[in-house]
Amino acid sequence: MNNTNKDDNLENNQDFIREIISKDLSDGKYKRIITRFPPEPNGYMHIGHAKSAFVNFSIASENNGKCNLRFDDTNPSKEEEEFIHAFQNDLKWLGFDYGNKVHYSSDYFDQLYSYAVKLIEMRLAYVCDLNQDEIREYRGTLTTKGKNSPYRDRTIEENLDLFEQMKNGKFKNGTRVLRAKIDMSSGNLNLRDPVIYRIMNIIHHRTGDKWCIYPTYDFAHGQSDSLEKITHSICTVEFEDHRPLYNWFIDKLNIYPSRQIEFARLNISGTMMSKRQLSELVLSNMVNGWDDPRMPTISGMRRRGYPSEAILDFCKRTSITKRTNLVDLSLLEHCVRENLNKSAYRVMAVLNPIKVVIKNYSNDSFEEIDALNNPEDPAMGSRKVPFSREIYIEREDFAEIPPPKFHRLTIGKEVRLRYAYIVKCVDVIKDEKGEVIEIHCEYDENSRGGKPADGRKVRGTIHWVSALKSSRAEIRIYDKLISEKEFDEENSDNMELNPNSIKVLKNCPIEISLENASEGIHYQFERLGYYILDSQDTKSGSLVFNRTVSLRDSWAKKSSFNLK
RNA sequence: UGGGGAUUGGUCUAGUGGUAGGACAACAGACUCUGGAUCUGUAAGCCGAGGUUCGAAUCCUCGAUCCCCAGCCA
């Protein structure tokens, strides 16, 4: 019984946010939980967003509540329609249900404007004529207090009039702002009379030219939460010191009290998660668009072949805390492999081919060998793979002078060609430089299917592709985007990609059944890794495969011989 | 004497005064027609110093280190 309890506890482990919510529910504070996922449409959705969406959507659904998708579109200078569509597409692909209503902060521009007027009327906001530099000067520094703006004590009437003129486009960009009147001596800089409306003569993607003043994040986010009756507004820790401001507006405006709760953002080794850096990669063409398979974007991962279930599983495994973290990429890859191992079709392809001639096999014929589509799941059936006198194998699978414990092909030794025959290497042919260019073997005709008739053990099994009857493909191998473990956010000189982040192999022999490969199907190239057809660059007759992730390779690690 | 947050094996995390547990990574072995998968095992941790207590990762005190904040970005 103790054991049972212990197991239950382990499974029901609650993070601190779920604890808060459970308590709020049991205290009767709320009847129904409403969360929100509030991306700014200024880039594509990435795995960090996915984590946040996962937290918000799953907490809502666990409690029979709902989660609103809300685009935080208060800054028309950065936001674009394209990103809104892309986000919705990615969200759907991941399986998040945001119902049929999409919310926008811009839905509340009218309401927000009247909140601002209300604040002015309460003497809690004022129009400030200081320019940007002056505002910064007056704000003080981290260790010194700020001082009051000379415009802080304008009359309500004057403020109302000026604010209306701001709205009516009477002033140029940057000449005036509306500020909340709080406390210029606060230790929290967010409370030193924060700007809540700024003049921007820019067309908004949804409201067009209706507005030339736009609310800032601080003035829009909390009130939008409140208007949607969001019970728990979950965001990342860098907003922690905005919370007093968030609460200040709710309090002064006397509106529905949403509660902001912060948790640490997700970081993954070998990649970067900042929207700024990611868009820089795209804009500078350092990568090939937002859906470049090396990108940590959802569209990049999809194109690379990461299944949505694996991404969700990863989000679930990286739990919710406030600590700064750097999750090892290997956890994500583990989730991907675990998912794909069960579902991917096995096929054979050779990345670095060398020709093998089977001297005692008839020259002019080929035969069809049965091969399992997935040994993990016999229900996935089998297929025919053509076998012939000339085949390709992986260069790494042959060694003239084998290192210790080498279970592959070497002169005088036997190896099994997967699903086909046992072959023994009898000779090699070298070029002028002494490099092996062709391997000569003899096959055991009584080992069809890979089973020697006399039952002898053959330790090594290698993959192969018929030279007579096969196809060709371009294969793209990816590695981590950046080589440094972490790198400086602000220093863009540091934006150096891992030079090996992509490797393109052309004209690789692949099993002929792959000519019918279709988009979105996951394949395991046996002994190599998981691959998927590239959705952008595959044309009929010219196949391009992306490596999703390699198979774990305990030999490569062990063997200094094989180190690349 | 600015404000806010955090600190458990290499990494992520559980623990809420009573044997520090899990996952990833690593290592060793078993098994195997994928050196895959699977299985078994090994190593590895409470930031530090005091205190309270029969007993402290947990409570108290002092200290250390790291992260965030000086956008009219979010």
pLDDT tens profile A393-434? 999 999 999 999 999 999 999 999 999 999 999 999 999 999
Exposed/middle/buried for residue A71 (C-beta within 10 Å: 0-12, 13-18, 19+) = buried
Identify the pLDDT of residue A496: 80
Nucleotide nearest to A105 (CA to C1'): B74
Which pLDDT band, with edges at 50, 70 and 90, does A5 fall under? very low
Q: What percent of chain A has pLDDT over 70?
A: 95
Identify the pLDDT of residue A484: 61
Is A427 (CB) below 7 Å from strand B? Answer: no
Q: Report the C-alpha gap between A336 and A307 in whole angstroms.
A: 7
Which pLDDT band, with edges at 50, 70 and 90, does A558 fall under? confident
Distance A428 CA to B30 C1' (A): 36
Identify the pLDDT of residue A556: 87
Closest to A408 in 3D by CA, of A451, A459, A456, A362: A459
Nucleotide nearest to A451 (CA to C1'): B33
DSSP H helices, A306-393, are 308-317, 329-343
Which pLDDT band, with edges at 50, 70 and 90, does A4 fall under? very low
Looking up tokens 């979105």 gives A520
Identify the pLDDT of residue A487: 46
Closest to A295 in 3D by CA, of A272, A266, A265: A272
How much is the average pLDDT of A28-46?
97
Residue nearest to nucleotide B26 (CA to C1'): A557
**CA atoms A361, A365, A370, A372: torsion sign:** positive
pLDDT in tens, A191-224: 999 999 999 999 999 999 999 999 999 999 999 9
Angle between helices A81-94 and A308-317 (to 10 degrees): 80
Q: Report the C-alpha gap between A546 and A318 in whole angstroms.
A: 26
Q: Say if residue A39's pLDDT is above 50.
A: yes
Give the helix/strand (H/E) hosting A316. Answer: helix A308-317
Which pLDDT band, with edges at 50, 70 and 90, does A2 fall under? very low
Distance A484 CA to B49 C1' (A): 36
Closest to A483 in 3D by CA, of A495, A471, A473, A474: A495
pLDDT in tens, A64-95: 999 999 999 999 999 999 999 999 999 999 99
Question: What are phi and psi for residue A559, nearest 5 degrees?
Answer: -95, 110
Identify the pLDDT of residue A8: 36
* Contact in structure between A83 and A46 (CB atoms under 8 Å): no
Angle between helices A109-121 and A217-227 (to 10 degrees): 110
Distance A372 CA to B34 C1' (A): 12
DSSP H helices, A211-307, are 217-227, 243-253, 275-283, 298-304
How much is the average pLDDT of A275-282?
95
How much is the average pLDDT of A21-29?
96
Span between the terminal Cα atoms of chain A, in Å = 53
Q: Report the C-alpha gap between A177 and A196 in whole angstroms.
A: 7
Residues of A labelled catalytic: 40, 265, 275
Identify the pLDDT of residue A13: 74
Q: Which amino acid is at A497?
A: L
Beta carbons within 8 Å of A101's beta carbon, 6+ residues apart: A68
pLDDT in tens, A105-126: 999 999 999 999 999 999 999 9
- Nearest 5°: the CA angle A362, A368, A369 is 105
**Domains of chain A, each with CATH number or no CATH:** 7-104+219-330 (3.40.50.620), 109-216 (3.90.800.10), 351-462 (2.40.240.10), 471-562 (2.40.240.10)
Residue nearest to nucleotide B2 (CA to C1'): A143
pTM of the model: 0.95
How far does CA A47 lie from the centroid of its chain? 3
Q: Say if residue A466's pLDDT is above 80.
A: yes
Q: Report the C-alpha gap between A228 and A221 in whole angstroms.
A: 11
Q: Report the C-alpha gap between A155 and A340 in whole angstroms.
A: 67
Q: What percent of chain A has pLDDT over 90?
A: 92
Question: What are phi and psi for residue A500, nearest 5 degrees?
Answer: -100, 20
SS (H, E, C) A157-182: HHHHHHHHHHHCCCCCCCCCEEEECC
Is A240 (CB) below 7 Å from strand B? Answer: yes
Distance A8 CA to B53 C1' (A): 31
Q: How, if at all, do strands A353-358 and A543-550 pair?
A: unpaired
Closest to A373 in 3D by CA, of A348, A394, A354: A348
Task: Look over chain A and give the mean of its residue pLDDT values, rounded to a whole number.
Answer: 94
Is A492 (CB) below 7 Å from strand B? Answer: no
Nucleotide nearest to A457 (CA to C1'): B33
Which pLDDT band, with edges at 50, 70 and 90, does A560 fall under? low
Identify the pLDDT of residue A34: 98
